[in-house]
Structure 1
């Protein structure tokens, strides 16, 4: 994280977090608002703190592990945000899974932009989509190209690849698109080490250019989205 947004610093103090969570729960008419605000405050604070630790580490780490740190940083940020709208999170073990999956075996001549992820019925991704954005998709899978193309900072590089605009079938919340792409990249880092290593060495490959460009943009953009989301929550209860 290049710089810590004031809202993230402010909400990492228990004296501020508990009243904030209490107001969030009162807003949704939760019968045990005070109880959950007290119990969730430390979890909320630790989530933000761990997210920032992962993020700041990722900014200064090699490309070989950067997507993994960004992905887990996002996980912690999302879980803190979920605590503002879902006091009982996690209610079951089902919501602790990723909520996304990838092909177990990559095709020969694998291309990242042509790859896709599958959306699972349970897990962090669909839970966050529903509770943070009231978003659901009829799709069970979506391509990296479709997720990346609308993101801020990616338009210019896609225009170089294909100047003719391609209409998107469905508009996704920006944060969910980042989450899905980082999930796929983290899986490549963990389980496709040979491909990832070759991609890093062959820097002239199209995949390398798009991945590095995406990570550079995401590094600055994602913390701002979380800060903006929390500011909106804060403003709605003020």
Structure 2
């Protein structure tokens, strides 16, 4: 389903924290060069259909970057990422929504951008809105919704996609307890259908609930690829949790 081969991706950062407009034209500024850091390097693994993968590691170790590579949001500088099926990405979940459009219009826009036809959206519209449970806010501008309501709409849209691979990046940290549990049940339903899951979370309980296999990232490297219990035990031992 997914094959990642010796993948690396680098980013630039400038050593100079502040530069004035004048600095742009000075010889000193021209001599300053951005340095490079590798968010991921030499990462390799394979995923078969129906696996549930939990990606573990401290903040800044490359977890979200890895998910974006698998989702096709960004491209690797080294190695290759081969994904043999479509993805339903819950990454930066409210990205793509337009503040001044109504909730209704945003549902059609976002679902359409993810490949759903107008007819499919019409058929699933009531299910999307019913799951989100946003009351009488359907024709309200999106920008007036609370952060929790925005997550409800986005989660409802993305989980209506028929793509075989579900990618989830910490989005369920927002929202009330009852709605989170509702989302968890939806994910479990999708897993029961044989979907493949890539899941980033700092919540150990959630990782154990959904995932059977873990990838432990440390310093942009794949430190361990094993069953989720072994990976979490190693992570906890490394950081005294």
Does the TM-score normalized on the shorter chain lie above 0.5? no
Greater relative contact order structure (CA < 8 Å, 6+ sep) = 2
Q: Higher helix fraction: Structure 1 or Structure 2?
A: 1
Q: Higher strand fraction: Structure 1 or Structure 2?
A: 2
Larger Rg: 2
Q: TM-score, normalised by structure 2?
A: 0.25
